[in-house]
Structure formats: structure tokens, C-alpha cells
Structure 1
């Protein structure tokens, strides 16, 4: 039975390896903020213990017997939404793609399993694991409904008084937790070919950037790729910011990447959405449609305000469709958004403006 302590973060660890469960427990137990309330060896047990013990957060493996982490995540997010962090060994590209599908199912983050005590990166990966669970335990997640056919409704024209938009030559999107699924929906419903370049800064573990790009590429008709230093933006191409480097757009519509860094960046993120949006606000705002999607914290909110003030047409994801309304909510509070729309409506708005 769990120990009653309102000050501790209650954690359910789901992994089919007893050795890994013990390792993760020891890593978390080194911080008195955590309380391990239950261990599960498969997805079915994870669902059962989630209902019984009501943890603040679940550390979930991907590949387990009886029921895997993906099915368990879907079940939990549809019926008893709890923040789920996917913690799994990543050996193959297929594993990374599966991890991205976990985000689509409602997991708030994915991270490679921490290294064992004999590994030189043990301390670093342990701290990263603890910090991620601590942050994500505060996320207020919502129920995820089973996928249904998306009905295309009417989308009103843009608010002309909101911005000084002349023409759309760039779409800029920032997202964090909950963003992958929203971005997938947007890209799937954009006209093909897209007549402008689309650049995306998504907070995601650097191990998964390439797989995230590949997953999106296979999910939509447009070409999706990881951005490279000095690339000239090309209409019809979707660019994903690489991990560990800030991404900026120059006045010549080329990619500028910062130096690779492991240190916490602007607003605690590398790449930072604020840095990304800020670069566009300097010279390209009045030809950019800017979008801030689901995510925890406030990265991107100030940048979106700069863009709006400089003439950009700015959109945020509508609250009821967000996994986490932190970033869009902060932007709304600042008055940075011209409109609040669902992902499908965002796609329709883009299509209407770049005909």
C-alpha cells in the first residue's frame, strides 16, 4: 500500500525486467521527493496498479509481455489520464519510431533508460531521469479519446486587424509535450504540395529527432527532414529543428544553427521556441504565419508576442484539444494570439491563406 505523504511524488514503474525496475527505483530513491508506490512487469499490471494506487506519474517501458507500453498508454490516457514518461532501451530505429507513437498515444515525454552504475554516464542520465519525472508529474493531462474521423468544418477568415500580414511565405510552428500528434494532424491536412516552407521547433529528446522526422514524413504527403546549417528554405518542405542546437531563420530565409550544447538553454530548452520565433520577428514577421501548440511551461509565448507585435499572424492551439495548455495558455495571457484553433482548423487556416 502507498505511504500517505502529500509532499512526495508517487511513481509507478512499469518494466518487464526486475533488474531495471530495481535500478530505476534506486535512482528515484536517491531523491526524497519521490515515493515508489508500485512495480508492474507488463502493461496490464500497469493499468491495474494505476487504477488502484493513482500515481502522480508512470515510468513506462515500451516492449513488455502480455501488453506492451503503447497499448497500456492508450488505455490509461483514455480512461484514467496520468502523466506517462516512456523510459526504454533504444537499440533499433523501429524502437525510436515506436517511442514516437507513444507520444501520439498521449505520453508526455520519452527518454532512453538511464545507464547502470558502472557506466561513465550513470550520474548524468540518472539526474536527467529524475528531473524529467519531477517536471512531468506536475502536468495536468486530459483524457485522450480514441481516434475518429476528423470532420472538416468551416474556418473563419483571419482577423485582418490583428496583424500587418502581406502574404504568407513561411509557416513557423513551436510545440512541446502533446505537440507531435497536433503537428501530425496539421501536416496531414495541409494542401499538397505546400506552397511555402514550414519550420518546426519541437521539444523532444535529441535521440528521437531523426525518428520523429521520419514518422512525420511517413504520416503526410510533404517531405519532412531535419534542418541543416545554411539550408535555404524551400517551399513544400517541412523542416524539423535538430536537438541540442538553437535554430534561427535569417532574413534570407536560410537556417542558422547554434553551437551544440548539453546545457539548459533559453527558458530551459535547446532548441528554444522563443529563440526561433525571435529570429523571425526581426525581418520576416509580416510574411509569417506563426503557431504555438501544446506544451508545458512558457517557451514560445514571449516570442509569439514579438511576432504579433511585428506584424505576424499568430495562432495558438485551442485549450480543449491540448494535452497541456501551458505554452498556449501563457501566450493567451500575454495577448500574443490572433486566434485559438484546433489542429485541423489551424491546417485549414494555413490552406486558406496560401492558396
Structure 2
């Protein structure tokens, strides 16, 4: 395996040095240069020909998103954004992902004494994943961004009407023990369960934009930092016809609503009388993730059963694959995003490999398939 050549773009000399030390500690990564601003970076991209950029969002002279727009239009290449843990930082980061950035990490803290190794592992892992993303995939994402700027969603949200509506290596058994599943779940309403990770914020957006406001309720687990999950839900609410919120413990699950797991809690579906509610769980990570897709799928299996629809989109690793398989085994319709349109074909790829996906299809066909299964 050849080394991944990385160019670090950040206006802070201290952060440039910290990121350089972290990335250079990996035998398969080589930091070929650093740049203090986008103008410097523009020249070094031409001369150093890096495989991946790490790009700071807030910089003088030109911000990271403006630079990213020019880069994706003229010289598409994999980019990992370095974002601040603020609401503004989250909003800008999601715009960067819209444009074609592969992933993001949060800004390293000056005092990394207790978290250096974990942060180093995260950024090295994401840089190596980004290096595998093809130029064609980046071009497709940028083209979708431009198309979305110039067109309206298939179902235009009625924001006024939405506001008035009623409102580590542990496996899933650590949170929800396996138990026999009833053969019949009665005629309760359907629930769509969707899981994603790397590249998922954009993939989820593409699905939600194509669903009408009367779609059955959707519960979503996206691997995302806790500080970013609420801004992500708010962002999705502005583009979807459905009402999109960050899930709250005990919140009733209603048709026409989407519930996104907080970035530091497992999201479960619980039956309370004749209705479903969200239940947030503060248990340990499962498959190294909290929230975990497998945990959500297992709760849907035991609570919603054959009235569910299972969806798994782009993401690294295997979280959700086994849970999707359990759903399919009781007769639930399941769909996985295909390799060509996935940023990382880890989770959907694993689901496909073990026979968990009834259908494997391009991202732009997933919403249509979901609607074909809606009763």
C-alpha cells in the first residue's frame, strides 16, 4: 500500500503542527506539506499533488467553504474538514459536506493530554478512508449540490403547516438482549428505520427530500458528534416535507415525522399502549458507536416487527448490518445503498454480503423503493 499524501490547510501554526504529528505517526500516511491559508494551499495543491486535504473552516482572507467550492469545481479531490464544535461550525460543516467534503473532524483541543491517541486514531482513519473516494464520486456529489441549488425538492416543505402539527466491542445484546419475536404485530402503523455513517448526512438528505409529508414515521441513527446532531436535525427540517427533530426521551412517534438520534445516546423504539415512543439509552457504545444502528434496528425488530422497513446507507464499518439481517429474517422489507453511490461501502456492503438487504440500489432510487413498500 502506497502512502496517502496529505496537505494540511490551517491558519494556526500550532494546529498544523499537531495534525502533522498525528498523521505522520501512521506508516501509511505522509504529510507532504502545510498551508496557512487557501491561497497558499492553491499553489501547493498544484506542486505537491496531495491525495487528501485537511481543511480548516474558519481562516482569514478566504474561508474554507469558499475554497472548497473552487476546489470541487476546478480540481476535485478528497477533503476532510476540520470543524469547531459550535452551532455555526456545524452549519458550515454541513455545507462543506453538501459540496463534496468526504468527512470532518472537530478542531483538536490545545490540551490533548487525555484524548490525543483517540483523536489521532480518528483523523488518521478518516484520511485513509477519504483517499479511497474516487474523483467520479466527488464530481457526482458536487453536481448534486449545483442541481439542488437550481431546483426544488420533489415535495416542497410547508414550514408553517409543519410547525402546527401535533407533536467498544460490545454487541447489541449489551443494550437489548435477543428474545423470540412474535409472529404477528397487529395492524399498527409502519415505522421506517434508517442507519448511516460516513457520508450519511448527505445521503439522508437525498432520501428525505424525495419523501412526501404523509410518509410513515422515520427513526434515524447517524454516527455524528453530540454537538452536531441537533443542528443536523434542524438542517434536515428546512429541506424535508416531513417534520424533522432530534429525538427526545418519551416523545411520541407520529406519521409525517422524522426522529434523529442524539449524537451521544442510543435511539430505541418502545411501544406504549397503542402508540410508539422514542426511548433514549445512555448505555455503552455498541460496535464502537453510540448511537448504534444495530441497537436501533434490534429495538424496531422487537417492537415494530413486520410493520417496519429497514434502510442502511453509506458508512464505514459494519454497524447495522446484523440488525438489518434480523429484520429481513422476519419478513421486513430492507434496502441498502449500492457501492457506486456510497462514499464508503462499509455498512451497506457488509449488509449486502451477509444477505441482509432485499434490495441494493443507487441512492436516488431509495426513497422510491421505500414508498413502494408503504402500506
The normalised TM-score by structure 2 is 0.79
Q: 1:152 to 1:14 in 2, by over 3 A?
A: closer
**How far, CA to CA, are the matches of 2:41 and 2:114 in structure 1?**
27
Deviation at 1:10, TM superposition (A): 3.5
1:110 aligns with 2:104: yes
Q: 1:19 to 1:322 in 2, by over 3 A?
A: same
More displaced 10-residue stretch of structure 1: 274-283 or 331-340: 274-283
Deviation at 1:45, TM superposition (A): 3.9
Answer whether contact 1:198 1:238 (CA < 8 A) is retained: yes
**How far, CA to CA, are the matches of 2:48 and 2:317 in structure 1?**
27
Gaps of 5+ in 2: 155-183
Query: What is the match of residue 179 of structure 1?
Result: 200
Question: The residue matched to 1:21 in structure 2 has which SS?
Answer: helix
Query: What is the match of residue 211 of structure 2?
Result: 190
Deviation at 1:115, TM superposition (A): 1.2
1:11 aligns with 2:6: yes
Query: What is the match of residue 290 of structure 1?
Result: 310
**How far, CA to CA, are the matches of 2:118 and 2:364 in structure 1?**
34
Query: What is the match of residue 337 of structure 1?
Result: 357
129, 133, 151: which is aligned to 2:123? 133
Q: 1:233 to 1:16 in 2, by over 3 A?
A: same
Query: What is the match of residue 278 of structure 1?
Result: 298
Answer whether contact 1:89 1:113 (CA < 8 A) is retained: yes
Question: The residue matched to 2:340 in structure 1 has which SS?
Answer: helix
1:20 aligns with 2:15: yes
**How far, CA to CA, are the matches of 2:70 and 2:288 in structure 1?**
31
1:94 aligns with 2:88: yes
Aligned CA-pair RMSD? 2.9
Q: Render the CA deviation track for 1:302-340: whole Å, top value 9, x for unaligned.
A: 111111002210001122211111111111111111112
Deviation at 1:208, TM superposition (A): 0.8
Q: 1:48 to 1:326 in 2, by over 3 A?
A: farther
Q: Render the CA deviation track for 1:138-184: whole Å, top value 9, x for unaligned.
A: 3221332322368999xxxxxxxxxx998861111101111111111
1:255 aligns with 2:278: yes
**How far, CA to CA, are the matches of 1:20 and 1:298 in structure 2?**
32
Gaps of 5+ in 1: 1-5, 154-163
Query: What is the match of residue 226 of structure 2?
Result: 206
Deviation at 1:30, TM superposition (A): 5.9
Query: What is the match of residue 158 of structure 1?
Result: none
Aligned pairs for 1:31-180 (under 5 A) are 34-76=29-71, 82-91=77-86, 93-116=87-110, 119=111, 122-139=112-129, 140-142=132-134, 143-144=137-138, 145=140, 146-147=143-144, 148=147, 169-180=190-201
1:222 aligns with 2:242: yes
More displaced 10-residue stretch of structure 1: 211-220 or 106-115: 106-115
The normalised TM-score by structure 1 is 0.83
